[in-house]
Amino acid sequence: MDTKIIRKFNIIAIVCIIIFCITISPKVLQNDTYYTIKIGEHIVETKAVDMKDPFSWHEDLSYTYPHWLYDTGIYLVYNAGSSIATNLGLDAENGGMTAIYISTIVLASILGILIYRTNVKINNNYLVSFLLTLGVIYILRNFIAARAQLVSYILFTLEILFIEQFLRTKKKRYAVGLFIIATLIANCHAAVWYLFFILALPYIGEAVVIRLMESNLSYKLRRIIYNNKERRLEKKISIAKDEITKNKLTNQLEKIKGIIEELDKKIIKGTVAVKKMEEKSIKIKIERRPNIKWLILVLVICLFSGLITPQTSFEPYTHMIKLLSGNTTSNISEHLPIVLAESLDAMIVLIVLLALLIFTDTKVTLKDLFMISGLTMLMLMSRRQISILVLIGVYSLNKIIMDFIRKYDKQDTENKVLNHLVKPYGTLLTILLALLCGTYFYGSKGEQKYIDNSAYPVEASQFILDNLNVDNIRLYNHYNFGSYLLYKDIPVFIDSRCDLYSPEFNGKDIFTDAIDIANLSVYYEDKFEEYGVTHIITNSDSKLKMLLERDNNYTKIYEDDFFWIFQRNIGE
């Protein structure tokens, strides 16, 4: 294919990807972004990762700072935006949030470009790689936000690229790159550090299966046993004193030699059978990767990357184990098992994968089969893992599609289409189509504010700051908006750092108490008495609000369209 055509198409593809990423990047900030800003500010001001929580009014809570590096980076972005806005005479907070919004667009664009380039590098095609990249970005639209996971997606994409390039070339720079990626994940998003190694397992699993297939292990083990018997009999024959014993041992030796000859024939037949199986296999394609043993060595070295962190609790090694052993994941929607009937994106992805695997005669490598199967299992266990399935599974999907196309397309259709797309009319039409799609996805984002007043207590927080001494009150709040209160320097009962409030991390089950109070699974007064709560902020449509407004022990001191604040009347 002409390099000029490729270069022009790459430019078109990247421009369209950037347009797409700009239009789907959310403007309204998510819950986690608020505590991210404050944690980053705390780290910058203290110049340390102190392993203590400074934002909740609960005493002596340990905090492991699982994404301290990302938090610090986001705060620096926010601070830079605030400073620029202040210098221009604009609102500082709005300037900081604008900077975060821009950083999300930049990171989303980097992710999109990396997905495209990784597809091209691994599968050596351009048009299908471009279309699949747009599909991946579309499915990831609900996962793209100012959260640590966005950086993790970029690092996981680079991991797959570096693994593939290392297996092909064995160049040291890719091995070093893998270690750097593992170290960055350990510091940017320790909760998903384990995924770095899980994503490499399909390559190792493929090598193990091929090795077992080619080894004829059972026959070789039996041959070793009979070889030992042969040597022992030869030794006995050499020291035998009478002819009867010597003849008896000689007969046994001949039988064993016959068995060894049969085993040798079976080993040869087994090797031939493996080759015939490869040739006649309908679905499985054997792909040998000569540098796999070196990749395993690199991964073993990467296990030590979890130690290169300021955290003193070996957090990359233990964080996910603690989370999975607790009950927080069963109470947070994104961690719950997926319901396919409620997820159109997941259904479409599975239907496409199954259709290609079942209804085409395209062969799939063991690595791709293991990768797709493993990621699908992860997705079924946790709905948020659909992002990893599409992010990483797209390279296997691309390979299957291209094998099918190349098998039946004798006209080099891709080259012809690219020739038309790089011409002026093709380029103009493609960019216009991208802009039209972008306009549709962008919708009314220009009119949106960075903070959703219906989801976060913007006015209520200002009332608290103006009328209450935040150092002397103990405020009960709901899990969903605790991070915003924290962001406004109001000490919280709970926020979306669920690990902080679970017994696996601190020995206190504050998380369950907070959920039970909100769901009225316990008598609220008993829990408020236990914790010494003085004030309650709750949504205006919550069940808790309806009970408190009828309870003489509570006085409403604030209300707006979305939030109410109550004062608990505590006797002397």
Q: What is the DSSP string of 154-170?
A: HHHHHHHHHHHHHHHH-
| 404-437 per-position pLDDT tens digit | 888 887 777 888 888 989 999 999 999 999 999 8
3-class DSSP assignment, residue 86: helix
Q: Give the pLDDT confidence score for residue 541 in this predicted structure.
A: 93
Q: Give the pLDDT confidence score for residue 60 in this predicted structure.
A: 86
In-domain check, residue 312? no
In-domain check, residue 262? yes
| Mean pLDDT (whole number) for 290-297 | 93
From edge to edge, which strands make up the β-sheet containing 563-568?
475-476, 535-539, 563-568, 554-559
Gap between the Cα atoms of 177 and 163, Å rounded: 9
Confidence bin at 279 (pLDDT 50/70/90): low
Residue 423 and residue 383 share a domain? no
Q: Which of 65, 59, 146 is nearest to 98 (CA)?
A: 146
Is 543 a residue whose pLDDT tops 50? Answer: yes
* DSSP class of 29: P
Structure tokens at 163: 């693994």
Is 211 a residue whose pLDDT tops 50? Answer: yes
Confidence bin at 353 (pLDDT 50/70/90): confident
Q: Give the pLDDT confidence score for residue 572 in this predicted structure.
A: 40
In-domain check, residue 296? no
| Mean pLDDT (whole number) for 290-310 | 94
Residue 467 and residue 512 share a domain? yes
Is 133 a residue whose pLDDT tops 60? Answer: yes
Domain stop point among 265, 285, 305: 285
Q: Are 505 and 322 in contact (CB under 8 A)?
A: yes
| Mean pLDDT (whole number) for 66-76 | 96
Is 477 a residue whose pLDDT tops 50? Answer: yes
Residue 496 and residue 397 share a domain? no
pTM for this model (two decimals): 0.89
Is 78 a residue whose pLDDT tops 70? Answer: yes
Residue 563 and residue 495 share a domain? yes
Q: Give the pLDDT confidence score for residue 76 in this predicted structure.
A: 97
Residue 341 and residue 280 share a domain? no
Confidence bin at 172 (pLDDT 50/70/90): very high
Gap between the Cα atoms of 57 and 464, Å rounded: 15
Residue 442 and residue 488 share a domain? no
Higher pLDDT, 572 or 566: 566
Q: What percent of the chain has pLDDT over 90?
A: 63
In-domain check, residue 186? no
Q: Give the pLDDT confidence score for residue 216 in this predicted structure.
A: 64
Q: Give the pLDDT confidence score for residue 217 in this predicted structure.
A: 63
Residue 38 and residue 139 share a domain? yes
In-domain check, residue 353? yes
Gap between the Cα atoms of 400 and 363, Å rounded: 7
- Amino acid occupying residue 304: F
Q: Give the pLDDT confidence score for residue 327 in this predicted structure.
A: 75
Higher pLDDT, 490 or 359: 490
Residue with tokens 């003085």: 534
In-domain check, residue 167? no
Residues contacting 37, CB < 8 A, separation 6+: 71, 74, 75, 78, 96, 100, 487
β pairing state of 284-285 and 364-365 = parallel
Residue 426 and residue 367 share a domain? no
Domain stop point among 378, 408, 438: 408
In-domain check, residue 28? yes
Helices 386-408 and 366-381: angle between axes, nearest 10 degrees: 150
Higher pLDDT, 570 or 200: 200
Q: How many domains is the chain partitioned into structurally?
A: 4
Residue 21 and residue 140 share a domain? yes
565 φ/ψ angles, rounded to the nearest 5 degrees: -125, 130
In-domain check, residue 555? yes
Number of CB atoms found within 10 A of residue 173's CB: 11
Judged by average pLDDT, the poorest of 75-79, 300-304, 320-324, 519-523 is 320-324
| 237-256 per-position pLDDT tens digit | 777 777 777 778 788 878 88
Q: Give the pLDDT confidence score for residue 198 in this predicted structure.
A: 94
Residue 175's H or E segment, with its range, is: helix 172-188
Residue 492 and residue 425 share a domain? no
Residue 544 and residue 481 share a domain? yes
Structure tokens at 448: 């949106």
Structure tokens at 36: 């991210």
Confidence bin at 331 (pLDDT 50/70/90): confident
| Mean pLDDT (whole number) for 347-354 | 85
Q: Give the pLDDT confidence score for residue 215 in this predicted structure.
A: 65
Q: Which domain holds residue 373?
A: 326-408
Residue 422 and residue 377 share a domain? no
Q: Which of 64, 26, 21 is nearest to 319 (CA)?
A: 64
Is 438 a residue whose pLDDT tops 60? Answer: yes
Q: Give the pLDDT confidence score for residue 219 in this predicted structure.
A: 65
Domain stop point among 348, 383, 408: 408
Q: What percent of the chain has pLDDT over 70?
A: 95
Confidence bin at 114 (pLDDT 50/70/90): very high
Return mean pLDDT, the chain. 89
Judged by average pLDDT, the poorest of 363-377, 401-415, 495-509, 549-563 is 401-415
| Mean pLDDT (whole number) for 112-119 | 96
Confidence bin at 214 (pLDDT 50/70/90): low
